[in-house]
Structure 1
Amino acid sequence: MTQIRIPATYMRGGTSKGVFFNLADLPEPARQPGPLRDALLLRVIGSPDPYAKQIDGMGGATSSTSKTVIVSPSSQPGHDVDYLFGQVSIDSAFVDWSGNCGNLSAAVGPFAISTGLLDPSRVPHDGIATVRVWQANIGKTIIAHVPMSGGVVQETGDFELDGVTFPAAEVQLEFIDPAAEAEGAAGAMFPTGNLIDVLDVPNVGRFEATLINAGIPTIFIDAVALGYNGCELQEAINGDPQALARFETIRAHGALRMGLITRLEDAQTRQHTPKVAFVAPPANYLASSGKPVAASDIDLTVRALSMGKLHHAMMGTAAVAIGTAAAIPGTVVNRAAGGGVRSTVCFGHPSGTLRVGAQANEVAGQWQVTKAIMSRSARVLMEGWVRVPAQTLA
């Protein structure tokens, strides 16, 4: 059988990259959620791959590069486009639709403008285009501020983002009301109703944790409780199979406590969420590039795992969770940052540092966050068509 061609754009957004599609360009059987759409995206990325290399697809064999995005005119009043994110498993036939990708969120606005999905009257010839994005996975609003120059999206610039080699144009993102009402979550921002819970994980240990739904459901734990100092780089965790197994056990028990799953074994089919992160007070260390990070320049250190591996930088959605938790006195994150009330936090991650802001208020004894703000960048890497064997949709 022949291959079919599908219009697509390969984009970097923040410290991730993925294959972007206009919903209308997908083959008819894949325009609706379901097994055929999943099969198509798996084949595009090159999964499942028992070699874990994704050689026969567009994926890069890491959680940061095994991603897909579908964009369409918005179904929601007051929004420009709908953005649906699919995290593709590398070694199993599974696409996780349970959460957002904060990094690729930075590329949605530029993609929408460049492909004509926005009303031209809303796009300035020069200046900043405001793109109102409906994040369909979690039902939240993201406002993207996209720079324009000469009637096209400005992609080059001098904005530097640790974890990305080259500078680019800055795209500011506002995550509105980021407390993620995740599918299956038993509550809003703090699903257990507590700022700190005690997790008792068999064969791992008993420790305090902040379980939060903001940006993406995340489990925050003190690094020292796990035997770490918070300055670890990827190999220290990813090269230790026993450590990865412990983190996955923690993730499963945290997901159960958060109400995201009803049985521990269900965590296997919900790989994208929740995330697990460990935090520590600020410290001096060398980033993965060899760049020194000074304790005096950061408020705390954070290391986070995505799809079973320590992330090379920081997931954008996890950064929203960090900023939100840091703004609320009494959380594990706020405690590591020195406590008190704060509206911004700068944290150290394996590739360097990142600043994120959050507006938090306590109303009738309940914490609310109206928005979280951070800057990323985005760039088109390649555009044209992806090809998949026709039998993929048979």
Structure 2
Amino acid sequence: MHPELDSFTVSIVRGGTSKGIFILESELPKQQPTRDNIILSIFGSPDIRQIDGLGGADSLTSKLAIIGPSTRADADVDYTFGQVSLTKAFIDYKGNCGNISSAVGAFAIENGLVRAIEPITKVRVHMVNTGRILLLSVPVIGNKARIEGDYKISGVPGSGAKVGIDWADCGGESTGKLLPSGKLIDHIEVDSVSYPVSVVDAGNITVFIAATSLGLSGIESPSEIEANKGLMTLIESIRGKVAQQLRLIDDWQLSAQEIPYAPFFSIVSPSATYTTRDGKSVAQSEIDIVSRLLFMQGVHKTHPVTGTVALGACCRIPGTIAHQALSGAAAKTDLIWIGHPSGRIEIESAVSCSGSEYRLAKSIVARTARIILKGEVYVRKSIVTAE
């Protein structure tokens, strides 16, 4: 070993439409400042190119999963998610990523934390960030997670083995309620203008607003939305004020600095025909609702699974912003097809109601995942030994 370097065993893993660095809990020191400095060095952050690390220079590929034996009797593994900033020495551990979550089972099987049982291995994942349980159904062959399959997802070339993700335990994980404010619609005032929004806590807390409230059609591309700096400032103001209202932060004006990842922000509109980022057509008849979702102060190029969980729940609560935009056909079945910038994503969702309290009764999403690389990453010893 080089006298100036230490090594850490990591894997680069694709989960759904995201890619992240997975590392065993045992590889990292317990001390949080040192641990975070090591992780930042592994990714090459802060640097928008992440040129000196393994990060992919994009919010969708700058994601972290720390996996270890479960600290709970009702789970197989512990999973801590981190969104690693490109621009600051900061890792946001307050949210979750459903796409990355879909690969936790494969990683756990590969590293001997879970015994593979054909044809489907059930993996109960304790999400340390939220304290909830996620149930993964992982296809296996031999003692490995299966890779080949015919399931396709928008935003990922080819096809793969279908991984089922059951989020039914994940309603109200951050605030204790599916509707944190207890209201179907909240009114958020910015510059003397009132904006109606619905806020749902499922997967990740997500703020929903009608595209028309922002002067949009709803089928704009990510680049079109991001190019409107005034609109982006307004969106962050609304998001920040919701976060302050929920007591996630003390000052809404610091939302981008203190909680850049979640709450998510979803701009919804009725189904419509539009062209995806790669020039393909999504027909109005193929989807039930359109969403353009923002996180990390940018527009998601596809649609996050946790945002899909939240949108599915919101669609099932009569009177909310998303429910108002949902097509009539989707109201008659649990299945919802959501149109996003790269195509569409499906979710089976159901919500039950007792009095004024709503509960997530069903929330099933499917993804594909695979481990791309496993190897040693080198970190400067001066970072590892720094106090």
Verify same fold: TM over 0.5. yes
C-alpha distance in 1, partners of 2:276/2:27?
41
* 1:191 lines up with 2:180 in the alignment: yes
Query: 1:194 offset after TM fit, Å?
Result: 0.2
C-alpha distance in 2, partners of 1:143/1:181?
15
Counterpart for residue 208 of structure 1: 196
Q: How does 1:25-36 map to 2 (within 5 A)?
A: 25-26=27-28, 30-32=29-31, 34-36=32-34
Moved over 6 A (4+): none
Q: Secondary structure at the match of 1:355?
A: strand
Q: 2:310 aligns with which of 315, 318, 321?
A: 321
Paired residue total: 380
Q: Which runs of 5+ in 2 are unaligned?
A: none
Q: Secondary structure at the match of 1:38?
A: helix
Query: 1:342 offset after TM fit, Å?
Result: 5.0
Q: Deviations over 1:314-354 (max 9, x none)?
A: 11110100111111111111110046565221110000011
Q: Mean Cα displacement is larger for which, 39-48 or 258-267?
A: 258-267
Counterpart for residue 72 of structure 1: 68
Change (3 A) 1:367 1:342: farther
Counterpart for residue 383 of structure 2: 392
Q: Deviations over 1:252-278 (max 9, x none)?
A: 112112222222244221111101110
Counterpart for residue 37 of structure 1: 35
Percent identity, aligned pairs only? 37
Kindly indicate whether the alpha-carbon contact (under 8 Å) linking 2:222 and 2:341 is maintained by their aligned counterparts in 1.
yes
Counterpart for residue 293 of structure 1: 282
Q: Name the amino acid aligned to 2:10.
A: A
Q: How does 1:98-117 map to 2 (within 5 A)?
A: 98-117=94-113
Q: Secondary structure at the match of 2:239?
A: helix
Q: Name the amino acid aligned to 1:12.
A: R
TM-score (norm 1): 0.93
Q: Mean Cα displacement is larger for which, 220-229 or 149-158?
A: 149-158
Counterpart for residue 83 of structure 2: 87
Q: Secondary structure at the match of 2:157?
A: coil
Q: 2:124 aligns with which of 110, 118, 132?
A: 132
Query: 1:176 offset after TM fit, Å?
Result: 2.7
Q: 2:6 aligns with which of 4, 7, 10?
A: 4
TM-score (norm 2): 0.95
Q: Name the amino acid aligned to 2:122.
A: T
Q: Deviations over 1:196-231 (max 9, x none)?
A: 11111237x422100111110110000011011111
* 1:357 lines up with 2:348 in the alignment: yes
Q: Name the amino acid aligned to 1:54.
A: Q
Counterpart for residue 216 of structure 2: 228
Counterpart for residue 138 of structure 2: 146
Q: How does 1:224-373 map to 2 (within 5 A)?
A: 224-267=212-255, 268-338=257-327, 340=331, 342-373=333-364
Q: Mean Cα displacement is larger for which, 241-250 or 60-69?
A: 241-250
* 1:168 lines up with 2:160 in the alignment: yes
Q: Name the amino acid aligned to 1:109.
A: G
Q: Name the amino acid aligned to 1:221.
A: I
Alignment RMSD: 1.5
C-alpha distance in 1, partners of 2:187/2:156?
36
C-alpha distance in 1, partners of 2:334/2:248?
28
C-alpha distance in 2, partners of 1:31/1:86?
16
Q: Which runs of 5+ in 1 are unaligned?
A: none
C-alpha distance in 2, partners of 1:60/1:241?
25
Kindly indicate whether the alpha-carbon contact (under 8 Å) linking 1:343 and 1:360 is maintained by their aligned counterparts in 2.
no
